[in-house]
Amino acid sequence: MSFKSITATSRWRIFKDRTAGGIMLTLTLLSICLVILVGFGLYLKSIPIFQEKSLWELLTTPHWKPLKGDFGFLPFIMGTVWVTGIAILWTLPVSLLTAIFLTENARPQMKKFVFPALDILAALPSVVYGVWGILVVVPWISDKLAPHFVEYSTGYTALAGGIVLGIMILPLLISLFVEIFSSVPKELREASLSLGATKWQTTKRVLLRRTAPGIFAAVILSVSRALGETMAVLMVCGNIAKIPDSVFDGCYPLPALIANNYGEMLSVPLYESALMLAAFILFVVVFLFNVVSRIILYRIEKSFQ
């Protein structure tokens, strides 16, 4: 092969590398611009309601009466907090212990059965979970659980929304935790056991401490997904625009508000702008949640180095 052909080949490879790098950079910038455009578009649609009411008034007023011009988002924000909080509260320990069992104690035959089942649960449409919640969770709360705590409950409550939402994000959390735990080198476990530690001590002091940043990131990812779930929660939470006083009260999360009302009553002044503001609030909350989590995650990883 001549010197000229080698030079031409090298130039062609350099050209391909630069082209590939330019394409990937362009796609990365486009994805960032897409996020900015979505947020900016929602803000533009929300401007009309800002001209009538202040942001503080909109976020802290508990009254939602569009026909009278009252657009208080506090009940919907609190409904989102209640449902998401309940879902994470019971899902986190269940998924964490399940993942520990699957990675540390389960036999290969059990893993072959559990992992496909988790994949099936993750692939089910949210409306299926909603129907299941109406047929199973709502009657159970209304007939079996609620009578022990309150005089009457329809079953369409924040608790029902939290249970259904938790089941929806459970496969995601377990899969993430299993992947995180599997990344820990086997030698670390063997070293701990060789020093006389029990399996649980090894799990607590080696596995969980080593994977703490990954566990935190997985929880944040699950919370971000839970904040945006719509259909299943809409079907079981009662859709009552009031701040819940207990888990047995109905609620109305922000995603359900948008899905349930957009396209209706848009002739009411400021109604479309109010719904766009609801979407913008949800967008900002999820965005800030992820930014703050990245900062905390970076500090946790730095402390482990």
Predicted confidence at residue 89, as pLDDT, reads 92
Query: Which tokens go with 238?
Result: 């009662």
pLDDT in tens, 102-141: 888 878 888 888 888 888 888 888 888 889 999 999 999 9
pLDDT > 90: percent of the chain:
13
Residue 297's pLDDT band, with cuts at 50, 70 and 90, is low
Closest C-alpha among 165, 142, 153 to residue 235: 165
More confident: 50 or 269: 50
More confident: 233 or 76: 76
Residue 70 bridge partners (DSSP): 65
Q: How far apart are CA 174 and CA 118, in angstroms?
A: 8
Residue 17's pLDDT band, with cuts at 50, 70 and 90, is confident
Q: How far apart are CA 260 and CA 179, in angstroms?
A: 36
Which phi and psi (to 5°) does residue 128 adopt?
-65, -45
Closest C-alpha among 223, 221, 216 to residue 81: 223
Whole-structure pTM value: 0.83
